[in-house]
Chain A
Amino acid sequence: MLNTVLGSLSSGVAVSTSSYESIASATGTGSSGTITFSSIPSGYASLQIRCNILASASNEFVSLQLNSNTGSNYTRHSLQGIGTSAVADGAANSSSINLDGNYWGPQSTYATVTIIDILDYASTTKFKTVRIFNGQDNNSNRGQVGLCSGVYRSTTAISTVTINISGGINYTTDSQFALYGIKG
């Protein structure tokens, strides 16, 4: 029974390990707040980006843009636990998808970790749906964990993913970003 349950589990990462491939990775430079994956091939069913984010300063936010589109073509909803209560938030007609649920941004000592799944990213007939699982904790009053959903209202296949941090601050050299493709 237990083995049967385990075999059916699916949460972003496919159970079949051979269907999960590394496409590219990037490390923060300490002098830039932008990470871009470009020329993404279309041979997968979905994409997953795993981030371990540390920033040069606090109180800024990390956001996602697709195909370098900066128009008001993004929508998101968020459910976060902030240690004292559950909070929900959303935004329409935004110029990006906020990865933090618009609550705490990344810090310099305590990593913000995030898993981004972009489903059916190569479709040319559907808007693109994104799901995000994120969290950070600082052993004090600043912790959050939650889920975000987002939509990019474009039917163009996604070939570029950009992860920006606001406020002109930078990703530290301990920040890691990795892009994976999941076969159908």
Chain B
Amino acid sequence: MATTYEKIATTTLGSASSTITFSSIAGTYTDLRLVCVYTTANFGIYTTLRFNSDSGSNYSDTYLIGDGSTASSARDTGATFIGFGAYPNGISSGQFNLVETDIFSYAGSTYKTCLIGSSLDKNGSGDVQRLVGLWRNTAAITSITIQTNGGTMSVGSTATLYGIKAA
């Protein structure tokens, strides 16, 4: 039987970096799934998502956050990225952020929509988040970049990209 859920690539940082990029993604799957775990030595670091190296104002997102006391929601329109991990509150040294993303019909000819789950706990604060992101472009996604808002992800931070193939 053909493999349905397949690892495409894993990146584990050997030195601190502000970006992790997966490029030359084949169009042979139905959906993509990206799982990332990172920490930082900096203060207030969140991460963002861009496709095909597009830095234009072609992204938007809507998110739901529970922060331990309140559930709230906000959105970004005409943005230059999709909020990805710990967005917008950030993590700091000694804190970890787990992020899972599903990118639907990434090789199709419609705008691209993704679902993101971000989890972080700071032993007294933190949040759990669900986010929907939109990239207003009909091109197939061949490159995904995770980028911080300024500082770096630490050594050992890792991201794995999977492909999911429907029958």
Partner of A113, one of B39, B104, B165: B104
- Report how many residues on chain A are interfacial, defined by Cβ distance under 8 Å: 51
Residues of A contacting B37 with CB < 8 Å? Answer: 2, 5-6, 9
Segment of A14-22, A67-75, A120-128, A159-167 in the binding face: A14-22
The stretch of B18-26, B46-54, B107-115 that contacts the partner chain = B107-115
Cβ-closest chain B residue relative to A9: B35
Q: Is the CB of A145 within 8 A of B63?
A: yes
* Interface of chain B: mostly helix, strand, loop or mixed: strand
Asked if residues A145 and B131 are in contact (CB atoms below 8 Å), the reply is: yes
Please name all residues of chain A whose beta carbon is closer than 8 Å to the beta carbon of B60 when the two chains form the complex.
137-140, 143
- Cross-chain contact of A11 among B77, B100, B132 (Cβ < 8 A): B100
B43: CB under 8 A from chain A? no
Distance, CA A24 to CA B162, complexed state (A): 19
B92-134 near A? 1/0 per residue, CB < 8 Å: 0000101010101100111101110100000000000011111
Q: How distant is the Cα of A84 from the Cα of B61 in the complex, in angstroms?
A: 12
A interface residues with partner B (beta carbon < 8 Å): 1-3, 5-6, 9, 11, 13-14, 17-18, 20-25, 50, 52, 54, 79-86, 109-113, 115, 133-140, 143-147, 174, 176, 178, 180
